[in-house]
Amino acid sequence: MLVPKYIYLTKGKGEHKEKLASFELALRAAGIASQNLVHVSSIFPPDCQLINRQKGEAMLVPGQILFCVMARNETNEPHRLISSSIGLALPTDHKLHGYLSEHKGYGQTAKVSGDYAEDLAAEMLASTLGIDFDVDQSWDEKKQVFRMSGQIVKTSEITQTAMGPKDGKWVTAVSAAVMIMEWLEEGEAPK
């Protein structure tokens, strides 16, 4: 079975007259254009380590199959503000899984989009852990509830924004949680 041993967050944006080429340039800016990307759902595995982008990119090989949780947004509408965000929430107990969330926004600043994604990941983790909170509270109020519970150790986000070029070219914004795998034999525990 494949289990992510490391995860890192990355982002990028690209602009081009062709939609696909703008996506390719965004992946290049994010440092993941030379891999074969497989989009997966949003579980941060138990005992997985969150590492920085530089360390993660050093582990990549061109052409490899690379699993990631990705948020992607694009526009060719002049002056249209777009965003793509990945939220992260990790439990205090590293033997439990955490959550990643993906969000794409229109007209949202990096802060608004990032806070939304971070809030979503934290809510998913909190509901799994049985933490009581009011979904209608602001993100700052929920953060306090989560911290006081002692069950959520870290929340974070990464966001890429972009503005639609005035000349009608395409712009793509991507954010991703990139998973570096470890191969485990059946029944073997992660190291």
Q: Is residue 78 part of a domain?
A: yes
- pLDDT by position in tens, the chain (length 191): 789 999 999 999 999 999 999 999 999 999 999 999 999 999 999 999 999 999 999 999 999 999 999 999 999 999 999 999 999 999 999 999 999 999 999 999 999 999 999 999 999 998 898 887 676 777 677 777 777 678 878 899 999 999 999 999 999 999 999 999 966 566 665 55
pLDDT value, residue 130: 87
* Residue 42 belongs to domain with CATH number: 3.50.20.10
Q: Decide: residue 1, CB within 10 A, 0-12 exposed, 13-18 middle, 19+ buried.
A: exposed
Q: Is residue 190 part of a domain?
A: no
Q: Is residue 172 part of a domain?
A: yes
Half-sphere exposure of 67 (CA within 13 A, CB side): 16
Cα–Cα dist 167/17, whole Å:
9
In terms of residue numbers, what domain contains 107?
A: 2-183
pLDDT value, residue 190: 54
Instruction: With CA atoms as reference, report the closest residue to 154 among 98, 111, 108, 110.
Output: 98
Q: Is residue 13 part of a domain?
A: yes
pLDDT value, residue 189: 59
If you count DSSP H runs as helices and E runs as strands, how many of each does the chain have, helices first?
Answer: 4, 9
pLDDT value, residue 187: 66
Instruction: With CA atoms as reference, report the closest residue to 120 among 134, 140, 99.
Output: 99
Residues 6+ apart with CB under 8 A from 44: 7, 50, 88, 89, 90, 97, 98, 99, 100, 177
pLDDT value, residue 148: 60
Q: Is residue 62 part of a domain?
A: yes
Q: Is residue 153 part of a domain?
A: yes
Domain count, the chain: 1
Q: Does residue 75 contact residue 104 with C-beta atoms inside 8 Å?
A: no
Q: Is residue 188 part of a domain?
A: no
Per DSSP, which regions of 24-150 are E strands?
A: 36-39, 43-44, 49-50, 65-75, 81-91, 98-106
Q: Is residue 191 part of a domain?
A: no
pLDDT value, residue 185: 62
For 72, the token pair is: 């992607």
